[in-house]
Structure 1
């Protein structure tokens, strides 16, 4: 497409409406006022429409498309708030079962459609990427030609350009033009206008930087979106839960097995029920209310060359009492106190009893760790007990088969197989028993041996959130830049005043991107201090002419 050369000598891109230099209209229009949107320059999306790249560019440069992308993003984001995301369901719960049990058929559909991990799904990332592409292309499509037009504009503008401004007036045979223009220059400087002069003509301009406000907004939003997308990279963002039983230690997620946390003691403090100050609140609560809870923890670090999980090779780094809003922090990680569980089942102690009176089983006593049970228990007198199946949280599924909801021992059931000394475990089947809390059932007829539970150990468990966020500075910078652009575009306005002496004829014009009332006040100030007249608002005249035309078309006398 060929460029258009204006009579002033400036070469304009194809499709430009007003010459970037002198402002002469290059395309005839019926409108009385010039279209000053983007200074009348040609945008790429309005001139190049043939190739595949042009079509992609034009699609994303549309403001309507950008708005629809935002609407789709908001709607899909709201879907993720209908039910908790998988990271926020109770620890240890199986998401496949949890959503259907808690929320019924709708919850099952929610899980099957993948909404339980919506914000990390590929299609949600695609929508965010589309919004970012739209912001980039929209900005480039407008800011580049706008900057070029504002940079190349001359002081002396074509008379047709001035006549098409919203605020315009001209005075024939004006007196004291030179004196008024000198005084106007001084008055406009007082109003903090930047003055440019050419051939005795004046261009007064201020607030041009406000034109870049929307594009600064876009830059801030793009940086904000980049920060949000970086949260899906493990090295940039981590938000995990860990449960640590009292007296035990667990590896800290995200540290590649380098750091461990030991729960030395978990403490909980309740409000004093006898304190009159708290009694009304406690009565409303209907029971004890937690005042504070904390984990006395020790941070451990695996020494160089050590084996993961080897306790003897862990060095203590520091001790810290983790409370709500008082996390343990190290190397960008923060461990927050978020939950706890009191009296979780830890181990069962069993003894083996025989129905035969002459059988001595006094030495057969064993302890089963419910979090890490052994497979086989052998005794000196030749007896052997194997754990055939272990269900930490026992349930019967839809197929009437035994299974476990999760690995937390809330309702443990164990299937034991007992072999006496004379039995061969490889050739014979032992006696099977299903044992749990208030459960002791033989599984293959009547048994000669009974496994009896004699003791139960319980332990307190602390729930911590492991959090690392390296994207926060990026998101903060994006938000700060966005606010700068918002203030820049909202509280300042781009105003221009042209005063030209055309052979004794005073031509006056003005333009503002918004806040025309403020520009009119500046003209009023000039008019009061000089003989320069107030310009006419041609938009009001156009409206009156249109109204008169409508009235005439409905006047019966004109028929």
Structure 2
């Protein structure tokens, strides 16, 4: 691209509208000068040949940036149609959960990968594209704008002044030196920064507001980086653990180093006799929970242990976990968010047979842990019991096959096989007596059995639900948001104003430019003219609009006589 040489001798890059030295318009595009980016050439308007240029030009386009934002908004909305996989109930199989809960729409949602939308590679690619667009669009505009504002001269070409939106001129008076001195003092009082050159004057203030949009972009870029850092290992954790009362569970995200023991869980209800809560209890239709708490102990693995040895746990500290009162350690916080009361924990079974002496079967009493069942039981009197199949939450699927909805023992079913003394379970030819046992269920599956398994007792336990959260990206997100707000305030509540006062050929010309709030600029110049006698200005955009309206009327009705 050929460079353009101005009559003042300054060589300007291709695509420059206003000379970077004197300000003379190099391209005549109408009555008013195009002051966008100070009329300088942007890289996207200058270089268009190589593949780098084409990529740069593509991402520097505001339209492309808007389309990327629209795509992000649309795709993000898809992720809110149904819960993301991390928010479905613990223990649920996502391949089954979405179709069972939401039907065909849920199945399609899962098949398209929307259940893990925000961590998908193509969603990350859209975020990266938005970040690239922000960086390139900002550099494409901010760098030439900075150079133009940094090197702007006081003395400008006459055509530059006359093509400003706010312009006025008059014959120079005898006391123009006194007028200029008075004008300088007035402008200083209004906090303008002054520059003088060859008897001409440039007054400027609020230049920093021009960088507000670019500060916004910096804040957005930092915010996007913080969002993407959440998908790096160790930077962000948002998980869930259920801990039964009296049990100890490993805390996810700690690589098996930390454990939590649920010493006691309890809930406190509002007093039903208290009139203050009568309306709330009536609306709820049941007692209203006032608070719920987990009295927990944090434990840490004290040694790695040799192969085959048990892990030794060291108690770190006790803490009562309540809503908004988490247990915090090593940057990880455990929040109280849910609970389940009276969950089945274990079944106790006995074996009965009318033809066998009761004292023989007294020894056949065994307990099945519904969360971690032992699959084989052997007794001193020769009896052996094997669990063939265990369904914690028993259902019949669409193929009429037994399966489990999840691993939570809400509706447990157990298929037992009983081997009397003398029958070897390892012998392929031996057959035991098979039964299906559950709550109020006791079915013999291979004909009439000689032995009957009876449920003698069961145990219930309360379970606490805790969110495990660690967020090292939060400072980055806060910094990005704070910078964005600084840029928003910077660009919204201040504006860049410039006033040129120039003497040439026996005339005094005064022109002004503002990136917004032209009314304030015109008020400043009017006040200056009133106090010093310098020429007042007119808004040439209003004159141009009135002229265009008049021509439109003439085109419709003919010229006015």
Shift of 1:556: 4.2
Judge conservation of contact 1:273–1:282 (CA < 8 Å) in 2. yes
State the distance in 1 between where 2:89 and 2:559 align: 81
Q: Larger deviation: 263-272 or 96-105?
A: 96-105
Matches within 5 A, 1:227-238: 227-238=226-237
8 Å CA contact 1:119–1:125 kept in 2: the answer is: yes
- Cα deviation for residue 22 of structure 1 reads 1.1
Question: What pairs up with 1:266-345 in 2 under 5 angstroms?
Answer: 266-306=265-305, 313-345=312-344
Residues 106-161 of structure 1: per-residue CA shift (max 9 Å, x gap) = 22222222222211111111111111111111101100110111112111111111
* Pairwise CA distance, 1:357: 4.1
Shift of 1:552: 2.4
User: In 2, Cα distance between the equivalents of 1:309 and 1:66?
Assistant: 58
- In 2, the alpha carbon distance for the partners of 1:122 and 1:384 equals 53
Q: Could you tell me whether the CA contact under 8 Å between 1:15 and 1:46 is conserved in 2?
A: yes
Relative to structure 1, the CA distance from residue 308 to residue 250 in structure 2 (aligned partners, 3 Å threshold; closer, same or farther) is farther
Q: Is the 8 A contact 2:301 2:311 kept in 1?
A: no
The answer as to whether partners of 2:42 and 2:144 remain within 8 angstroms in 1 is yes
CA contact (8 A) 1:248 1:262 kept: yes
1:541 alignment partner in structure 2:
543
Q: CA deviation at 1:189?
A: 0.5
Please tell me the root mean square deviation across aligned C-alpha atoms, in Å.
1.7
Contact 2:303 2:311 in 1 (8 A): no
Q: What TM-score do you get using the length of structure 2 for normalisation?
A: 0.96
Could you tell me whether the CA contact under 8 Å between 1:207 and 1:493 is conserved in 2?
A: yes
CA shift in 2, pair 1:233/1:451, >3 Å? same
Does 1:480 pair with 2:479?
Answer: no
1:18 equivalent in structure 2: 18
Change in CA separation of 1:123 and 1:88 when aligned onto 2, cut-off 3 Å: same
Q: Hey, what's the Cα distance between the residues in 2 that align with 1:510 and 1:32?
A: 15
Contact conserved, 2:169 with 2:536, CA < 8 A, in 1?
A: no
The alpha carbon displacement at 1:358 in A equals 4.5
| Matching of residue 504 in structure 1 with residue 506 in structure 2 | yes
Q: SS in structure 2 opposite 1:367?
A: strand
Change in Cα spacing, 1:317 to 1:357, as seen in structure 2 (3 Å) is: closer
Q: 1:547 to 1:435 in 2, by over 3 A?
A: same
Q: In structure 2, what is the Cα distance between the partners aligned to 1:183 and 1:307?
A: 90
Distance in 2 between the 1:193 and 1:501 partners?
A: 20
- Counterparts of 1:275 and 1:535, CA distance in 2: 75
- How big is each residue's C-alpha offset from its partner over 1:157-185, in whole Å with a ceiling of 9 and x where there is no partner? 11111111111122234332211111111
Secondary structure at the counterpart of residue 326 of structure 1: coil
Q: Does 1:4 align with 2:40?
A: no
* C-alpha distance in 1 between matches for 2:230 and 2:311: 35
Query: What SS does the aligned partner of 1:541 have?
Result: helix
2:372 paired residue number = 372
Q: The residue matched to 1:38 in structure 2 has which SS?
A: helix
> Residues of 2 paired with 1:399 and 1:499: CA distance?
88
| Residue 451 (structure 1) aligns with | 453
- Inter-partner Cα distance in structure 2 for 1:542 and 1:292: 70
SS at match of 1:49: coil
Partner of 1:465: 467
The answer to which of 428-437 and 220-229 deviates more is: 428-437
Q: Which residue of 2 aligns with 1:514?
A: 516
- Displacement after TM superposition at 1:5 (Å): 2.9
- C-alpha distance in 2 between matches for 1:307 and 1:223: 46
1:340 deviation in Å?
Answer: 0.4
Please give the per-residue CA displacement for 1:374-400, whole angstroms capped at 9, x wherever unaligned: 121111111111111111111111221
Q: Distance in 1 between the 2:365 and 2:47 partners?
A: 86
CA distance change for structure 1 residues 144 and 429 in 2, over 3 Å: closer, same or farther? same
Equivalents in 2 of 1:553, 1:395: separation in Å? 80
CA offsets per residue over residues 341-386 of structure 1, 9 Å max, x none?
0111111111111242447312111111111111211111111111
Unaligned runs of 5+ in 2: none
- Per-residue deviation at 1:477? 0.4
Between 458-467 and 350-359, report the one with greater CA deviation.
350-359
1:407 match: 407
Counterpart of 2:128 in 1: which secondary structure?
helix
When residues 546 and 279 of structure 1 are mapped into structure 2, their CA distance, relative to the original with a 3 A threshold, is closer
CA distance in 2 between counterparts of 1:207 and 1:362 reads 93
Please name the residue that 1:67 is paired with.
66
State the shift of 1:42 in Å: 0.5
Contact residue 302 and residue 308 of structure 1 kept, 8 A: no
Distance 1:418 1:547 in 2: 100
* Alpha-carbon distance change, 203 to 331 in structure 1, aligned in 2, over 3 angstroms: same
- What is the Cα deviation at residue 57 of structure 1? 1.3
Name 1:363's counterpart in structure 2: 363
Shift of 1:235: 0.8
Does structure 1 residue 204 correspond to structure 2 residue 206? no
Which has the higher mean CA deviation after the structures are superposed, 242-251 or 393-402?
393-402
Aligned residues: 558
Whole-angstrom distance in 1 between the partners of 2:290 and 2:168: 75
Mapped contact 2:391–2:414 kept (Cα < 8 A): yes
1:234-253 correspondence runs (5 A): 234-253=233-252
Unaligned runs of 5+ in 1: none
Alignment of 1:31-46 (within 5 A): 31-46=30-45
Instruction: Output the CA distance in 2 between the equivalents of 1:554 and 1:393.
Output: 81
Which residue of 2 is the match for residue 489 of structure 1?
491
